[in-house]
Amino acid sequence: MALASLKTNSVTTPAANRFDLSEASLRTLTNAKWNQYGPDVLPAFVAEMDFAVADPIQDAVQAVVAKRDYGYPRRDGGKAGAAVANAFAHRMKERFDWEIDPALVVPVADLVQGTYAPVLAFTDPGDGIILQVPNYPPFRDVIRTTERNLISLPMLDDGTRHICNTEQIIDQIDARTRMFVLCNPHNPTGRVFSRQELLDIGQFCIEHDLIVLSDEIHSDLIYPGRKHIPFASLSPELAARTVTLNSPTKSFNIPGLRCAVLHFGTPELRERFGKRIPQRLLGDPNAIGVDATIAAWTQSQPWLDEVMAHLTATRDHVVKRLESELPEIRFRVPEGTYLAWLDCSALMLNTSAFDFFHDNARVAFSPGENFEPTCKAFVRFNFATSRVIVYQIIDRMVEAVRARKP
């Protein structure tokens, strides 16, 4: 499945059909998003989109199924993982002008596995790991379950956006601080960090000799006016200490197909990793996930362009309605992702924000406390669905908040 042969196809499913989704049709799905809560609850939590996947991805999946080709996969005369690595390298050059060696790309079968392995490889129990908070819950879990020391770096609201200032934690850094976990674009705030912000973080990591685990799985989901910059592309010195985690699962909506990659900035870093984490421990992506991933990265950009146009308009609608109808809820306009981090503190709720909206609006957001224990007044809003469902969600929010007022 050579890259040259994969670039020629285009998306054929009409955009109008892709985004015109009814609640009834979505409730026929068996995924977690539409089955975790009751039939009267609108889900806006787990980070996946409701849109049908790109035709090249569907075609790749159907080709495997049609041939009943479920043996150990090989592609292009070699191991299937090498084809994934080549597709990733091609994608990084094409989208971000970042030249990487496919030999330094390690495919893995699971994103969370991709967070655990570098932590186990480059730190020991009791070592310090810096984590921007709030953050993707599995990062907190890996630090806790592997008995590392969490050093929280709060994302501060400066009045226009969320920032992280490493000066806040200088007094917490010691000789056993080993790693900085960077999430860019940031989940849940939607920040896309500028080059200067990334360089400042990089200088901090150099000064304190930290390995950087850079989670960039939302890197394709960037709104107009912002640009994603791979952290390891900033300089050879930073590449030498950076492990990049990426996957098409978020941007191309295929989380159930289980394929991600770890990229190591240098052969030496890759070798250090291998001494602690044998390849056999990581396993390999399955045949369908391999072909879907390659089709996503090499054929499906037209689909993603359509999706981003829809998400941009939806984001802008959410911003307009929340600002005009629920001014008590504070938030910053997401620069990337399809997630909005909503601060409901001013509502003065006597319960968590998640519980309030679940019980009174029959909407299930992601609970803020999952991202940071002190954030019970926050929820994360996934707006990657049809416009009509987004309208219903906001209508329900407005009604529930207004019902509280005398």
DSSP string across 1-48: --HHHHSS----S-HHHHH---HHHHTT--SSTTTSS-TTPEEE-SS-
Q: At 211, phi and psi to the nearest 5?
A: -75, 140
Q: pLDDT tens digits for 338-361?
A: 999 999 999 999 999 999 999 999
Q: Across 172-258, where does the E strand assignment appear?
A: 177-183, 211-215, 242-246
DSSP state, residue 53: P
Work out the number of other CB atoms within 10 angstroms of the CB of residue 71.
7
Helix (H) or strand (E) holding 321: helix 301-325
Q: pLDDT tens digits for 282-335?
A: 888 899 999 999 999 999 999 999 999 999 999 999 999 999 999 999 999 999
Q: Which two tokens stand for residue 330?
A: 């504070």
- Are the beta carbons of 120 and 281 closer than 8 angstroms? no
Q: Rounded distance, CA 353 to CA 310, Å?
A: 27
Decide which of 3.40.50.720, 3.90.1150.10, 3.50.50.60, 1.10.10.10 is the CATH code for 15-52+301-401: 3.90.1150.10
pLDDT at residue number 13:
52
Work out the number of other CB atoms within 10 angstroms of the CB of residue 235.
14
Quickly state the pLDDT bin for 406 (edges 50, 70, 90): low
Give residue 296's identity as a one-letter amino acid code: A
- Name the fold adopted by 65-298: Aspartate Aminotransferase; domain 2 (3.40.640)
pTM for the structure as a whole: 0.94
Residue 47 has pLDDT above 80, yes or no: yes
- Are the beta carbons of 339 and 362 closer than 8 angstroms? no
Mean pLDDT of the chain: 94
Q: Is 288 helix (H, G, I), strand (E, B) or coil?
A: helix
Q: pLDDT tens digits for 173-202?
A: 999 999 999 999 999 999 999 999 999 999
Which residue has 């929340």 as its token pair? 322
Residue with the bigger pLDDT between 233 and 5: it is 233
For the chain, domain boundaries: 15-52+301-401, 65-298
pLDDT at residue number 1:
45
Q: Rounded distance, CA 300 to CA 51, Å?
A: 14
pLDDT at residue number 26:
94
Q: Rounded distance, CA 257 to CA 287, Å?
A: 9
Helix (H) or strand (E) holding 323: helix 301-325
